[in-house]
Amino acid sequence: MQKLEENKSYIFKLGKIMQIADENFLSITDPLGKKHLIDLRYYKDYNFEENSEMLCFVDKINCRGQIFIEPDHPFYKRESIHEFEYQKKTSLVTKQGKKIEVIVVKDKLGRDCTILPNNIFQMSDEYSPEKIKCKVERVKKSRLYLVNLDYTDK
């Protein structure tokens, strides 16, 4: 192997936790021996252990060669299917300024995640399941991107 590739996982060696400009970072070393830094503010619930190994996903390599690495989530893997605790229905505004209706679910770390409803019924007052089955599409900065697999329609 001569270089890391996007959309592939590799075992990284975890180094020391260091503070840079009042932020905590974890030093990690890829299989080729190159060091990288992980910004720990996104990974508060990950129990990193110095001098251990961890599977990490190479999410992106930009045009300048900067590598974006996502440590393995403690509970969820890409493409896996799980039930998430239903919280509520709400609306939010996208970056493009469009208002959309979403369903809020909670993950095992107690974090809220949003999913799109699959039909009009799922935004009605009648729809209030305990759990909703979702597929983990991706994980980025420890945030889950989910796809709603519930197609309940009355």
Model confidence pLDDT, tens digit, residues 79-108: 999 999 999 999 999 999 999 999 999 999
Q: How far, in Å, CA of 126 to CA of 122, rounded?
A: 8
The pLDDT of residue 13: 97
If one looks up domain 8-71 in CATH, what number appears? 2.40.50
Extents of the domains making up the chain: 8-71, 81-148
Q: Are 104 and 114 in contact (CB under 8 A)?
A: yes
The low-confidence residues of the chain, meaning pLDDT below 50, are: none
The residue type of 12 is F
The pLDDT of residue 84: 98
pTM, two decimal places: 0.88
The pLDDT of residue 2: 81
The pLDDT of residue 1: 64
The pLDDT of residue 154: 72
The H-assigned helical ranges of the chain are: none
Q: How far, in Å, CA of 154 to CA of 152, rounded?
A: 6
Backbone angles phi, psi at 47, to 5 degrees: -95, 75
Q: Average pLDDT of the chain?
A: 94
